[in-house]
Amino acid sequence: MKTNKTSRPSSVAALRRVDATKTFEKSLATRPTGKYVLRLFVAGATARSRQAVLRVRQLCEAELKDNCKLEVIDIYQQPNLARDNQIVATPTLIKEFPRPVRRFIGNLLNTTGLFVELDLIAKGKIAF
């Protein structure tokens, strides 16, 4: 019995390894599913903040077809969150999901990088 028990974890680990490899291959092959989770940190109602908020809303509606969850946070009102989310520059847009996490700093007027990262190029939507 004892030998069985001790041998089991190694077999489990082996299984897990196989699992991990499979997941990795799968994730590479298929596009992530599920809602985009976006969080936008702005500092007050500045022109830059407004531009950023506007841009993200536009993006969510037009490109992601409401397949996204957007949260806009004013760090003046919630300074704790600035610290918890390591916000240095404002505005900052954090793409929490799908992985990997990405941060876009600026008022989002320059969208090329944003589109690449949001995986929208495949749809041929570069000309925003």
- By the criterion CB under 8 A, which residues form the site for another protein? 41, 43-44, 48, 51-52, 75-76, 79-80, 82-83, 86-93, 100-114, 117
- Nearest to another protein of 66, 100 (CB atom): 100
Q: Which residue, 15 or 54, has its beta carbon nearer to another protein?
A: 54
Pick between residue 13 and residue 119 the one whose CB is nearest to another protein: 119
Does a cis peptide bond (omega within 30 degrees of 0) precede residue 91? yes
Question: CB under 8 Å to 98, separation ≥6 — which residues?
Answer: 32, 34, 36, 119
Name the minimum Å distance from CB 22 to another protein: 26
Dihedral sign (CA 52, 65, 72, 69): negative
